[in-house]
Amino acid sequence: LRSAGLEIVDVIEGARVPIIKCRHRVEVLDLGERKDDQSFEVDISFCNEVAYYNSRLLRAYADFDFRVAAVCRLVKLWAKRRK
């Protein structure tokens, strides 16, 4: 994972479904040639077919209507800040 540019933030081995929490940093150049670092977090799970099918279903919804992706991001942000 590190060779792919992912920083491992946490490993949750004791969960019902093991999860690796990672962060990916990206350098972004704006029009003024200023570099800005941005990052996004990724959770990788193993042997979790339900999550796979849920992701595919959300993708199908987003392909059907572009507003679904924005609502999903909003709900995810709300849930994360609520913790």
Q: Is the pLDDT of residue 30 over 80?
A: no
The pLDDT tens digits of the residues spanning 62-75 come to 999 989 989 988 99
The first and second tokens of residue 59, run together, are: 């993708």
Helix-, strand-, coil-residue percentages of the chain, each rounded to 5: 40, 35, 25
φ, ψ of residue 44 to 5 degrees: the values are -115, 125
pTM of the model: 0.57
Nearest to 62 by CA among 51, 52, 73: 73
* Residues sharing a CB contact under 8 Å with residue 45, sequence separation 6 or more, in sequence order: 17, 18, 19, 20, 51
